[in-house]
Amino acid sequence: MAIEFTKYHGLGNDFILIDNRSSSTPVITPEQAVKLCDRHFGIGADGVIFALPGENDTDYTMRIFNSDGSEPEMCGNGIRCLAAFLADLEGDAKKSDQYRIHTLAGVITPQLMSDGQVKVDMGIPKLLAGEIPTTIRPANEKVINQPLEVAGKTWDVTCVSMGNPHCITFVDDVAAIPLEVIGPEFEHHPAFPQRINTEFIQVVRPDYVKMRVWERGAGITLACGTGACASLVAGVLTGKCERKATVELPGGPLLIEWSEIDQRVYMTGPAELVFTGKIG
- Nearest CA to 246 out of 237, 236, 238, 256 is that of 256
- Of 126, 159, 199, 234, whose CA–CA distance to 243 is shortest? 234
The one catalytic residue in 75, 159, 167, 229 is: 75
- Across the chain, the runs of DSSP E, i.e. the strands, are 3-10, 13-19, 47-53, 60-66, 101-103, 106-112, 118-121, 146-150, 153-161, 165-170, 197-205, 208-215, 219-220, 244-249, 252-258, 265-269, 272-279
Burial class (CB in 10 A: 0-12, 13-18, 19+), 4: exposed
| Known catalytic residue at 241 | no
Q: What is the CA radius of gyration of the chain?
A: 18
Tell me, yes or no, if 75 is annotated catalytic: yes
Longest dimension (CA), the chain: 57
**Distance between CA 187 and CA 191 in Å, rounded?**
10
Q: Out of 37, 81, 224, 229, pick the active-site residue.
A: 224
User: What amino acid positions are annotated as catalytic residues?
Assistant: 75, 224
